[in-house]
Structure 1
Amino acid sequence: MMILGENVNTLKVIDSSLRLIVIPLSIACLWLTLTNHQDNDIYGRLEFSNLKGLKFLVSISAISAGYALIAVISSWVKNLMSKAWIFFVCDQVVAYLMVACVGSIGEIVYLVYNGNQKVTWSEACSSYGRFCGRLNLILVLHFIAFLCFFVLSLISAFRVFTRFEPPLASKEVEDETT
């Protein structure tokens, strides 16, 4: 029985550590995105507000940092309520939002480096190199934060589904139907 208690404590430490890692990663993505801008004499100013995907990133980074902070604090509060289902649902939602955001930022990075000839967009990184360099860093940091939430969603799913009995065996189901 002591082994089960040690596993629960290990999971709790891993869970809290990942949530604590997500907070600075999300704040760094938020700050880098909000301060990412570059002027060009020919083409003008490029900043995060020009690209909807980066606005989405700002929102998701704020949500993930705030949720991770609230979750790490509430995970150590005893008898607040049964938090397993709440963490499970919230971890899943945030992980899916972060997947969508990674896809959105990945598309932006692809377009600024390669352009899109079908709609006559040229690549932008030859004119906005510093902006593109920071965009790469933002993508990497956000992807690491996503990986943390992916593992958190697995941990919260494990916690929720280990509390329930397995479904009826197929033989028992067959006996009930006949």
Structure 2
Amino acid sequence: MNKLGLARGEVHLRVSAILVLVLTTCLVAFDTQTKVVFLSIEKKATYKDLGALKILVYVTSAAAGYNFLQLCKHSTWPRKNFQGSYMCKAWISFLLDQMGAYMVFGANTAAVGAAMLAITGSESFQWIKVCDRFTRFCVQVGGALLCGYVASMLMAIVSTISAYNVFRMYSPKWLLRLKTTSM
């Protein structure tokens, strides 16, 4: 694959990741459901009721913003000069891509763990099964969590491309020279 095709692929993956991250954020942040608990007392379920969902909204929003900023780099970074500052920028981009992918995956996994408690409840803590009362809310959060995993996989693929961009700058002769031939 040539460099231009790889750059286009990275742009398409980043745009897809942004769209899925924004979808995840919107599905969780705008999901509410209200039920009447007793006579006129209402209980409203939102993402703010569960700390892991709140963190998921913040992390996916930040990851979408980061990927958008990375899209801007494609029009400003030089392509032919692999010396000095480009190498530093490539390493920073690679490390930030790694952090972003792991943060989205970790926040999504934490939200899944918290959602499982909402589905199953916990008799030892006397927690009720929230999803028995707020079914639509739980289904929408489940869809958002699925989108979050898709976004983390897209970001992992982008991180792989970043790794390729970093490690292609090093000479293969240098990498293959493990020991000297003089005896």
Both structures adopt the same fold (TM-score exceeding 0.5): yes
Unaligned runs of 5+ in 1: 1-5
Q: Which residue of 2 aligns with 1:136?
A: 142
8 Å CA contact retained: 2:25, 2:57: yes
Q: Deviations over 1:29-55 (max 9, x none)?
A: 111111111112127121111111111
SS of alignment partner, residue 119 of structure 1: coil
Shift of 1:161: 1.2
Letter paired with 2:21: S
1:145 and 2:151 correspond: yes
Give the TM-score taking structure 2 as reference length.
0.84
Q: How does 1:66-105 map to 2 (within 5 A)?
A: 66-79=65-78, 82=86, 83-105=89-111
**Whole-Å Cα distance in 2 between the matches of residues 65 and 86 of structure 1?**
17
1:118 and 2:128 correspond: no
1:13 and 2:8 correspond: yes
Q: In the comparison of the two structures, how many residue pairs are matched?
A: 170
**Whole-Å Cα distance in 1 between the matches of residues 124 and 170 of structure 2?**
53
Q: Deviations over 1:5-38 (max 9, x none)?
A: x521121111100100111111111111111111
1:40 and 2:18 correspond: no
Q: Which residue of 1 aligns with 2:61?
A: 62
Q: Which residue of 2 aligns with 1:3?
A: none
Shift of 1:79: 3.0
Give the TM-score taking structure 1 as reference length.
0.86
Shift of 1:122: 2.3
8 Å CA contact retained: 2:105, 2:148: no
Letter paired with 1:140: L
Q: Deviations over 1:94-137 (max 9, x none)?
A: 01111211211211221121122332222211100011010111
SS of alignment partner, residue 129 of structure 2: coil
**Whole-Å Cα distance in 1 between the matches of residues 17 and 130 of structure 2?**
30
SS of alignment partner, residue 39 of structure 1: strand
Kindly report the root-mean-square deviation, in angstroms, between the aligned alpha carbons of the 2 structures.
2.1
Q: Which residue of 2 aligns with 1:49?
A: 48
Letter paired with 2:3: V
Q: How much identity, in percent, do the aligned residues show? A: 24
**Whole-Å Cα distance in 1 between the matches of residues 72 and 139 of structure 2?**
35
Shift of 1:139: 0.4
Q: Which residue of 2 aligns with 1:171?
A: 179
SS of alignment partner, residue 76 of structure 1: helix
Q: Deviations over 1:50-98 (max 9, x none)?
A: 1111111111111111111111121232439523122101101101111
Letter paired with 1:54: L
